[in-house]
Structure 1
Amino acid sequence: MLLGYLLCPGKTFAQHYLDIQARADTDKIRIGEHVKLELSARVQLEGLKGASFKVFFPSLPDSFSHFEVVNRSELDTATAPGEKFFKQTVTVTSFDSGRWEIPALKFEVFSVTDGSYDSVFTQPVFIDVNTVAVDTTKAFKPIKAVKGVAWNLLDYWLYLVIGAVAVLLIIGLIWYFRKKPVKAPVVTGPVESPYDMAMRQLQELKGEKLWEQGDIKQYYTRLTDILRNYFEHQFGIAALEQTSAELLQNIKPVTILNQQRDKLQTILIIADLAKFAKMQPTPQEHEDCLTKATEIVTWTKPAVVREAQPGEAPKQQP
C-alpha cells in the first residue's frame, strides 16, 4: 500500500513526503500567560502519484498535563505546486509553575485510494512556567488611601436627561387624563330574559323546518341546546356541560323544573337516539318533542313582580 509504505518507520520516504511539526512561539511564560502551539503538516504530492488522502490533526482535550486549552483556530489549508499545507494554532496556558511537557501529538493519515491508514507523532514540546519574581529584600510599602474624584455634572448627564423625560411624561399623562372628556354611559335597551330568548329560539326552530328537510341530527341538537341554555341562565344549572343522565339528576332540587321531568326525559332520550344511534323518529315524535319543550319553558316561566302602588308593598303574581 502506497501510504503505508510512505509512512512506515525506517523508510526515508516518510520523512521526504510528509513533514509534521508541533512548534510553540515561546518556551518560557509566567503563570497565566498564553502559548501559541502551531500544528502543521506538509505533504509532497509528487511522490504520492495521484493517491487521494486525508490528514487528521491531533484532538487536544480542554485540559491536559498541567495545561489548559484557551482557543483553537480553524484548520487552514494551502496548496502550492507539488505540495499541500495544513495548519492549526492552539492557544494554551498553565497555572502551575514548573517545567512541563506538551506530549507527542498524533497525526493520523488515511488513504482514500487504497484504504490504508497510519499515524505519525510529533516531538514533545517543553514549556517553563515561572512565577512572578518578588524582591523580598525591599520593605513593604504602606497601603495608599483612596483618592476622591471631583464631582462633575457632565458625568451624570444621561441620568439627568432620563429623569427629566420621566418627569415630563408623568406631567403629560396627568394633564391628559384630567382633560380627557368623560364618556357618557351607553344606554342599552332591555336585555332579553332567558324565557323570552328560549321561546323565540323555539319558534325560529319550528320555522326552519329542519326535520322536514331530513336534517334530523341538527334538529335535535338545536332543540336540546335551547333547553340547556335556558336551564343554565334561568336556574344556574351547568346544563351545557352535563350528559342527559346528569342533567336529569341535577334538576331534582329545582322543584318547578323537576315537575316537568318526564317531558324532559322523553325529549332527551329521543334526541340521543337520533343524534348518536341514527334512529329516525316519526313526524309525530318530532312535533311532540318541540311541543313538550315549549310546555317545559312555559311551565317554568318566572313569576312577574307587579308594580307596587304608592304605599303598597310589591306583590308577586304567579
Structure 2
Amino acid sequence: MYKQQVIRRIFLCCLLGLLYPFSLLAQQAVDVTAKADTNSIRIGEQIKLQLTAKLTPAQFKDANFKILFPVLPDSLDHFEVVARTSLDTLVNQDQHILHQTFTLTSFDSGHWEIPPMRFEVFAGANTNPDSAFTLPVGIDVNTVAVDTTKAFKPIKAVQSVPWNIWDYWLYIAIGITIVLIAIGIWWYLRTRPKKEKVINIPTVSPYEIAAQELKALKEEKLWQQGDIKQYYTRLTDILRTYFEHQFSIAALEQTSEELLQNIKPVTKLNQQRDKLRSLLAIADLAKFAKLQPTAEEHEECMRKAEEILEWTKPKAGAPAEEAGAEGEKQQA
C-alpha cells in the first residue's frame, strides 16, 4: 500500500513537470495578426494595413512583460509606406488589443505579398525576447483596363475656367481699402487748417537798443581807463548794428569806405555823412594805427554818434522797416 502511494506521487510530479513549461508558454503566447482592408487595388491606390497584438489582462498588468511592434521601412518589396499611425490600445472584454495602422501603396502590377511581420516579446526583465510572426498578406495590384479594339481619342484642348468675381474678392477689398485711405489722406491734407506764420515783432526798436548801448558805453569809461581800441570798436559796432537793423544795410561786413558809399541812397543817413566819415576815420586810426586821440576827440566822437542816432531816429509809430524800405526805394 505504501509503495503504491509513493509511485502515484512520483507520477503526479512528473506529469506536473511536463505540463508546467506548456502553461508558461500559454501565458506568454501573444496573438499577433496583420490584416489589410482590401486584397485588390489598382496601381497607385492605397491599402490600410493594420498590425494587431492581443494581450491577456495578466500580460498587460505584468510590469516585466513587453512587446515591440515591427518597424517598417519606408519601402518594402513592391510597396511604399505612405503614412503610419502611433501605437494605440483598445480594451475589449478580457483582452487588451494593441494596434497600429500603416498606409501602403504600390506602382508595380501583379500579385505581391506583404511579408510576415515580426513582433518581439519580452516575458521577463532578464529573459531573451521571443518572436511572434504574422501571416503574409497577399495583394493583387491591377492595371487600368484598356480596350485596345477602340481607336485612340484625340487629346482634349485646355479648357479655361470661367471668370468669377468672387474668386478675387480679397484682392478687390484690399484695392478698395487702399484707394479709400489714399483719398482720406489727400482730403485731410487739402482741408486741414493751415498754420499762420508767426511774425515776431521786436518789442524794442533798433534805435532804443543803440541808444541804450551808447549810454552803457559812456558809463563804462573805457577811454578814461586807457582801453582806446575797445572804446572805438564798441562805438563803431553799435552804429553799424543800428544801420543794419534799421536801414537793412550790411554794415557789419563792410569797410568804412564801402559803408559811406552805401548810405548815400538813405536820405537821413546821407545827411549825416560827414559826421560819420570823421568818426570812422578817427576810429580806424585808433584801432589799426594805434593813434592816441585827445580827450576832446573821444568826447566829440561820442557826441557825433549820438547826433547821428538822434537824426535818423524813426518817427513815432512808424515800423522799423520803413526806413530800410526808403533806402531800397531810392536805390531802385
TM-score normalised by L of structure 1: 0.49
Q: Which is richer in helix? A: 2
Q: Which is richer in strand? A: 1
Which one has the largest radius of gyration? 2
TM-score normalised by L of structure 2: 0.47
